[in-house]
């Protein structure tokens, strides 16, 4: 994990001075939640739902934690300790590699250009919107452009896309395990069906209400 981590090879170098993974993870959650609240209050980055917008979202969410916030993992970013952070090859443990770094910029431009050509999925009925949005989520996850924070950045980006299309996505009713399973199935098996079903549910107010009731019970 060149440049990004402390000597343990696991803990990302960070602005907070956290020296182990557990301490960093606990602090990261609090800081990111605060930045998410700013976005929900309309104080986050505005953009055109393009690659620059995605990077701006990442920068906003993780600005308190990482020097390289807003930079994709294919870039060579010089940290304050002089190390160069870059990781063009990234994979989950025992999982399929994500997109090679050299392809990230073109892939993000292709995904967002297609969105623009489709008028940012405006004017679609709920099912058609959900299916198309799910495919975008799968595509972004396959690129996995950032060293850390891809899922949270993607969800904020998808929230903005849904708002443009006149819908709301209730990610809060989705368990972490289900989101991971849908992401893995889409990326490693090339099968978006699980993510499409997930998006159909979280964009349907009736289904969302039922799920919230089940969670509360």
Provide DSSP, 159-214: HHHHHHHT----GGGS-HHHHHHHHHHHHHH---HHHHHHHHHHT-HHHHHHHHHH
Kindly state the tokens that stand for 189.
Answer: 């098996």
Query: pTM, whole model, 2 decimals?
Result: 0.95
Render pLDDT for 25-75 as a digit per residue (tens, 0 to 9).
Answer: 999 999 999 999 999 999 999 999 999 999 999 999 999 999 999 999 999
* All structural domains of the chain: 21-216 (1.10.3290.10)
Distance of CA 172 to the CA centre of its chain: 15
**Reported confidence tier of residue 11, pLDDT bands at 50, 70, 90:** very high
Buried b / exposed e along 159-182 (16+ C-beta atoms within 10 A): bbbbeebebebbbebbeeeebeeb
Share of the chain above pLDDT 90, in %: 91
Return the pLDDT at 2: 63
């Amino acid at each position: 994990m060149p440049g990004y981590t402390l000597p343990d090879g696991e803990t990302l170098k960070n602005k907070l001075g956290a020296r182990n993974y557990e301490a960093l993870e606990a602090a990261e959650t609090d800081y990111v939640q605060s930045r998410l609240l700013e976005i929900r209050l309309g104080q986050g980055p505005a953009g055109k739902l393009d690659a620059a917008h995605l990077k701006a979202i990442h920068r906003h969410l993780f600005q308190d934690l990482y020097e390289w916030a807003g930079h994709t993992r294919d870039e060579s970013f010089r940290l304050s300790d002089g190390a160069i952070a870059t990781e063009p090859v990234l994979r989950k443990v025992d999982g399929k590699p994500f997109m090679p770094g050299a392809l990230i910029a073109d892939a993000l431009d292709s995904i967002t250009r297609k969105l623009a050509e489709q008028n940012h999925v405006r004017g679609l009925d709920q099912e058609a919107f959900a299916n198309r949005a799910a495919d975008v989520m799968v595509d972004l996850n396959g690129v996995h452009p950032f060293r850390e924070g891809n899922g949270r950045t993607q969800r904020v980006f998808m929230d903005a896309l849904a708002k443009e299309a006149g819908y709301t996505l209730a990610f809060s009713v989705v368990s972490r395990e289900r989101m991971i399973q849908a992401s893995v199935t889409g990326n490693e098996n090339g099968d978006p069906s699980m993510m499409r079903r997930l998006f159909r549910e979280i964009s349907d107010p009736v289904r969302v209400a039922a799920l919230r009731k089940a969670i509360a019970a």
